[in-house]
Structures are given as C-alpha cells and as structure tokens.
Amino acid sequence: MLFYMLKDGYKLMPSILKFVPRKRTAQVEAMLQDMSNTLSKYISGQAIECIFVGICTAIGYGLAGVPYALLTGIFAGATNIVGSWKSCWGTRYYFMYTILCNHQGNC
C-alpha cells in the first residue's frame, strides 16, 4: 500500500477528495497533506537509521577484528529497514559466524 501511495501520490489526493463533501474539502486536504509530510519524514528517518546502524556495525566489527565487517555492516543496515527485523538478522548471523570461527579456529 505504501509503495502505491509513494508511486501515485499525486493521484491519490484528488481521488479521495471526490468522495468528500465540499464544505470539508479544505479540512480533508490539509489532513492528507499533514499525513503525507509525516510519512515522508518517517521514511527519511528510517533511511538515516539504516545508514547509522550499518556504519556503526561495520566500525564495531572492524575494530573487533572480525572478517567481512563491511559486508556485515551493509547487511545489518539493509535488514534494519524491515521494522520487525531491525538489525537482528544481521547481528545474529554474524554473531554466530564469529562464535563458530573462533571455536573451530579455521576462519
């Protein structure tokens, strides 16, 4: 749904306003504009958070001497965009990789 709102957003407002009584058009249009601004700020914030998580993960793993720290940082940042996952998948994967490599000693 969000994809279509972003893709065809300019068509959405006139389509919704067709179903609104004329005396409420300005009020509903202002509300839709506020919703659009809020959604835009939310998406921008999520993108900034993903970048921050990716950079911090890469730096942290790099300082710890873990191999493929940059790749893991990118993976953690990318999986951070999905709200329920956040960076858990990237962190869990690399945490297990690090434990197994240190235990086996052949990485």
- Spell out the residues 6+ positions from residue 45 whose beta carbon is closer than 8 angstroms to its own: none
The predicted pLDDT at position 61 comes to 85
Q: Which residues of the chain have pLDDT under 50?
A: none
The predicted pLDDT at position 23 comes to 92
Query: What is the Cα 71 distance to its own chain's centre?
Result: 18
Among residues 56, 69, 70, 66, the alpha carbon closest in space to that of 100 is found at 66
DSSP H or E run through 2: helix 2-7
The predicted pLDDT at position 89 comes to 63
- Spell out the residues 6+ positions from residue 40 whose beta carbon is closer than 8 angstroms to its own: none
